[in-house]
Amino acid sequence: MGEFLRFENITKRYGQNTVLDNVTLEIQAGEVFSLLGPSGCGKTTLLRICGGFEPPDEGRVILDGVDITNVPANRRAVRTVFQNYALFPHLSVWENIAFGLKATGQDAKTILEKVPKYLELVQLTGYENRKPGQLSGGQRQRVAIARALINRPKVLLLDEPLAALDLKLRQRMLIELDTIHDDVGITFLFVTHDQQEAMSISDHIAVLRNGRVEQIGTPTELYEAPRTSFVAAFIGDTNFFEGTVETIEGDYCTLNIDGFPEIQLFNDKKVHRGEKIHVSIRPEKFFISAVRPEVTDAKTNLLHGKVEEVIYVGPHTRYWVRVQDWRVSVVQQHHGYGLDERRIKWDDEVWLRFGADNAYMLEHYAEVDEQLLALPDLEPEELEAVVEGGTQEVGSAE
Amino acid sequence: MKSRLRNISNWIIGAPSFVWLVVFYAIPIVLVFLLAFKPVDAYGGLGEGWTLKTILDLRNPSYPAIIWRTFWQGIVSTTVCVAVAIPISYQLARMNSRWKNVILLLIIVPFWTNFLVRIYAWRVFLHADGIFKNLLVAIGLIEESTTLLYNQWAVLVVMIYTYIPFAILPIYASAEKFDFSLIDAAKDLGASSFYAFRRVFLPVISKGIWTAVMVVLIPAFGAYLIPDLVGGPSSELVGDKIAQRVFIDRNLPHASALSALLMLAVFLPMLLGKWLNHMRRRRQTREGRT
């Protein structure tokens, strides 16, 4: 299937502030597409433009081949699940779900037929007489979803739909959303600042920052092949290294990182000798061991360092290993009880092994993005401040 | 034990307002109803014993017209006040807070001027030689001989003018708390602006609207200064009659009977409305939906 929903060169300004800067996105029919980014990146504004609540200053929105840029909200085949759900407090669950049918003038028979079906879809049969005030957060959200889906929209917009729920419920609702999506087959446009949410539900993700698209791709592409240091740091955790290209042999090159032995690296960016580049290596791509492993393969790199910190979190253990001037974050999955890694403690000398294909070259690197990396002592608000501060600095550097 | 203590402290906290209500509200109302059954003596005092004479006197042939006028003027002024107050409140609630405060201030400022002074201002304004009259004549909208003052239309206009702030304030208080994302949600679901306004905004702020209706309707029914000052003999309201019976005829029982009639006229429909609402809600729960 071809593109279904298309944002074409969307620009939106509030006064001096450019919220969206020439954003172009293509969304396929029936997929879950996420707009992911820190607060203030413009993702909600883009959603509101799609819903028809705000006009773009420039650009077009094309849905199913029709330019809907100037179509008012109530005439668009687009429905929204709002962040606070915006349920009608004076109406019962039944009336909330039936609202869209009544507002568009459908007859009583259709309403009587459809509402129970959608109550069932969101598992709220038996709750039809409750008022929104008598429902839990998860139930309210399900009402909002049923209400939005009942008119069979072409696109369902979800604005941080899980943000108001607690962690366990969020995980359950995420699975439920995925099930509902499979049931109805409607295109979902999902806005979130939570990379895990986006990763687990999306077919494609657009990472937005500062009103611009940083990268578009499948969750795997974004995670394994981040284009910039921002994407690498915002999605998951990683290590950044700066080095100079020494030699190039076929598809691989060797990289000289200060204090490291020579590193073998897959040369997907076609870099040249002497070029300074940044690479990202995910923590779980390292294998840690207390004894020096036998390396027979030329495409395997080996580092030697000292453990600075060990954090055991059940399924895996996180280590911070000092290798010369670098502090390398390593995550080791526990596949069995009492394996080698359990014996690694503070101040132990360890060996880190990683394959040449697991270090990824970045197109763009900004030092501020390092602040996005998992720092054990950063509160969420502080992290947000870092993100916003970071965007500004990057803006001025460009 | 704890709940009993809380009960006692609740009583202590509630006692002053309870006493206040009994002394200044319940007792006077009971007195008004009782007085209606007392005879009058020759000097304007109260006679001995009880009588139904006053109640029967209410069949005075001049009364039906006055009562009818009181009702329709009260209902028309209430309707106009609320109808004007709703869009004003809607806009006020959506405004940014600086302008909002300025406009609220403008609405409240007239209260700082004495009520009588404001009515006299209207007399000057509508007077036969007043600017408004001359303006209308100049435009050619009315004849030189038309009088704007001393008729029921003048009474109605001044009543609406007087009561509009009372309608705006409670409706605004409700509208201010209204979550305007609900309007977005309604439009998102395919509703037109008008549908969203009627089916979402109005029901959600209905408490404020009913408060406004009560706050305007009750004084409008009892109005007597306004018809007295800008109305003529043909635009008397029940309030005027009550005042006449007290001050001129010195017939307190008759005045009480009229007052009691007004009170019942407001109270009974309210009760009926409450009951109907209650029945509707019960039916809804039984049917399971609307």
pLDDT along chain A (398 residues), means of 10: 86 93 95 94 94 95 94 94 94 96 94 94 92 93 94 94 86 90 93 92 95 96 95 93 91 90 88 92 93 86 92 88 91 75 80 93 89 60 52 36
Contact between A128 and A93 under an 8 Å Cβ cutoff? The reply is yes
- Whether A68 contacts chain B with CB within 8 A: no
CA distance A230 to A218: 16
Which residues of chain A are within 8 Å of residue B199 when distances are taken between CB atoms?
A: 99, 102-103
Interface test with B, best of A44, A45, A74 (most B CBs within 10 A): A74
Beta-carbon separation of A103 and B186 below 8 A: yes
Of A74, A87, A90, nearest to B187 by CB-CB distance is: A74
- In b/e form, how buried is each residue of B154-172, taking b as 16+ CB within 10 angstroms? bbbbbbbbbbbbbbbbbbb
**Predicted local confidence at residue A58, as pLDDT:** 95
Judge whether residue B8 has pLDDT over 50: yes
Size of interface A-B (CB pairs under 8 A): 82
Nearest CA in chain B to A97: B189
- Whether B9 contacts chain A with CB within 8 A: no
Which residues of chain B are within 8 Å of residue A90 when distances are taken between CB atoms?
A: 200, 203-204, 206
Contact between B171 and B208 under an 8 Å Cβ cutoff? The reply is yes
B residues 269-288 lying closer than 8 A (beta carbon) to A: 285, 288
Asked: is B63-289 a CATH 3.40.50.10490 domain? The reply is no
Contact between B51 and B37 under an 8 Å Cβ cutoff? The reply is yes
Which residues of chain B are within 8 Å of residue A111 when distances are taken between CB atoms?
A: none
Write out pLDDT tens, residues B25-71: 999 999 999 999 988 887 778 888 888 888 888 888 889 899 999 99
**Predicted local confidence at residue A376, as pLDDT:** 46
**Predicted local confidence at residue B140, as pLDDT:** 83
CA distance B170 to B164: 11
- Whether A289 contacts chain B with CB within 8 A: no
Which residues of chain B are within 8 Å of residue A80 when distances are taken between CB atoms?
A: 184-185, 188
**Predicted local confidence at residue A169, as pLDDT:** 85
Which residues of chain A are within 8 Å of residue B204 when distances are taken between CB atoms?
A: 88-90
Of B192, B200, B290, nearest to A74 by CB-CB distance is: B192
CA distance A257 to A239: 13
**Predicted local confidence at residue A378, as pLDDT:** 46
Of A51, A87, A90, nearest to B188 by CB-CB distance is: A51
- Whether A86 contacts chain B with CB within 8 A: yes
Which residues of chain B are within 8 Å of residue A99 when distances are taken between CB atoms?
A: 186, 189, 191, 199
Q: Residue B25 is encoded by which pair of tokens?
A: 């509200």
**Predicted local confidence at residue A259, as pLDDT:** 84
ipTM over 0.85 threshold: no
- Mean per-residue pLDDT, B6-25: 90
CA distance A172 to A188: 18
- Work out the minimum CA distance from B174 to partner chain A, whole angstroms: 14
Which residues of chain A are within 8 Å of residue B193 when distances are taken between CB atoms?
A: 74
Write out pLDDT tens, residues B140-187: 888 877 788 888 889 999 999 999 999 999 999 999 999 999 999 999
Beta-carbon separation of A99 and B189 below 8 A: yes
Q: Which residue has the higher pLDDT, B169 or B233?
A: B169
Beta-carbon separation of B188 and A147 below 8 A: no
With 0-12 / 13-18 / 19 or more C-beta atoms within 10 angstroms meaning exposed / middle / buried, residue A256 is middle
Enumerate residues 6+ apart whose C-beta is below 8 A from A288: A319, A321, A330, A332, A341, A344, A350, A351, A352, A353
**Predicted local confidence at residue A124, as pLDDT:** 93
In DSSP notation, A190-248 reads EEES-HHHHHHH-SEEEEEETTEEEEEE-HHHHHHS-SBHHHHHHSS--EEEEEEEEEE
CA distance A280 to B243: 90
- Work out the minimum CA distance from B187 to partner chain A, whole angstroms: 5
Beta-carbon separation of B184 and A88 below 8 A: no
User: Considering only CA atoms, which of A246, A294, A273, A279 is closest in space to residue A357?
Assistant: A279
